[in-house]
Structure 1
Amino acid sequence: MELRDIEIFLALAEELHFGRTAERLRVTPSRVSHVIKKAERRIGGPLFERTSRTVRLTPLGKLLRDDLLPAHLQIQQAVDRAVAEARGITGTLRVGYSTPWCADLALQAAKLLRTRYPDCIVRTQEIQFNEPLGPLRRGELDLQISEFPVQIPGVTDGPVLLREPRALMVPADHPLARRDSVSMEDLAEVPLIRADGDFPKSLLDLHMPVRTPMGRPIPHGPSYTFWPETPALVAAGLGASIVAARAARYHNRPGIAFIPFQDGPTLDYGVLWPATGQTQLAMTFVDLLADLTETTTDDE
Structure 2
Amino acid sequence: MELREIEIFLVLAEELHFGRTAERLHVTPARVSQAIKKQERVIGAELFKRTSRSVQLTPIGSQLRDGLSVGYRQIQETLAAAVEAGRTFTGELRVGYSAAWCGNLVVAAADIFRTRHPHCVIQFRNSQMEEPLTPMRDGLCDLQLIELPIDEPDIVNGPVLFTEPRALVVPAGHPFAERATVSLEDLAQAPLISVTDQPEYFLDLHYPRRTPSGRAIPRGPSASAWQDVLALVGAGKGVSPTCLRAAHYYSRPDIVYVPFSDAPPVHYGLVWPATGNTAKVRAFVQTVHEAAALEASSA
TM-score by length of 2: 0.70
In structure 2, what is the equivalent of residue 234 of structure 1? 233
Distance in 1 (CA, whole Å) between partners of 2:99 and 2:89 is 27
Q: Which secondary structure does the structure 2 equivalent of 1:112 belong to?
A: helix
Is 1:185 matched with 2:169?
no
Which has the higher Rg, Structure 1 or Structure 2? Answer: 2
Is contact 1:89–1:284 with CA below 8 Å preserved after alignment?
A: no
Dislocated runs of 4+, deviation >3 Å: 80-84
Residue 81 of structure 1 deviates from its aligned partner by 8.6
In structure 2, what is the equivalent of residue 54 of structure 1? none
TM-score by length of 1: 0.70
In structure 1, what is the equivalent of residue 136 of structure 2? 136
* Deviation sequence 1:119-152 (CA, Å, 0-9, x none): 0011111111111111112222111000111111
Residue 277 of structure 1 deviates from its aligned partner by 4.4
Letter in 2 for 1:270: G
Q: Which secondary structure does the structure 2 equivalent of 1:222 belong to?
A: strand
Is contact 1:196–1:223 with CA below 8 Å preserved after alignment?
A: yes
**Greater mean deviation of Cα atoms: 274-283 or 182-191:** 274-283
Letter in 1 for 2:92: T
Is contact 2:88–2:117 with CA below 8 Å preserved after alignment?
A: no
In structure 2, what is the equivalent of residue 47 of structure 1? none
Consecutive unaligned residues in structure 2, runs of 5 or more = 1-79
Distance in 2 (CA, whole Å) between partners of 1:239 and 1:100 is 23
Q: Structure 1 residues 84 and 262, CA, compared in 2 at 3 Å: closer, same or farther?
A: farther
In structure 2, what is the equivalent of residue 289 of structure 1? 288
Consecutive unaligned residues in structure 1, runs of 5 or more = 1-79
Q: Which secondary structure does the structure 2 equivalent of 1:228 belong to?
A: helix
> Residues 265-276 of structure 1: matches in 2 within 5 Å?
265-276=264-275
Residue 200 of structure 1 deviates from its aligned partner by 2.1
Residue 83 of structure 1 deviates from its aligned partner by 5.3
In structure 1, what is the equivalent of residue 208 of structure 2? 209
CA RMSD between the two structures? 1.7
Distance in 2 (CA, whole Å) between partners of 1:240 and 1:142 is 34
Letter in 2 for 1:278: N
Residue 107 of structure 1 deviates from its aligned partner by 1.0
Residue 268 of structure 1 deviates from its aligned partner by 0.5
Q: Which secondary structure does the structure 1 equivalent of 2:89 belong to?
A: coil
Q: Which secondary structure does the structure 1 equivalent of 2:226 belong to?
A: coil
In structure 2, what is the equivalent of residue 32 of structure 1? none
Is 1:196 matched with 2:196?
yes
Q: Structure 1 residues 286 and 237, CA, compared in 2 at 3 Å: closer, same or farther?
A: same
Distance in 1 (CA, whole Å) between partners of 2:115 and 2:259 is 38
Distance in 1 (CA, whole Å) between partners of 2:108 and 2:289 is 12
Q: Structure 1 residues 97 and 237, CA, compared in 2 at 3 Å: closer, same or farther?
A: same
* Deviation sequence 1:75-108 (CA, Å, 0-9, x none): xxxxx99655223622211111100011111111
Is contact 1:81–1:118 with CA below 8 Å preserved after alignment?
A: no
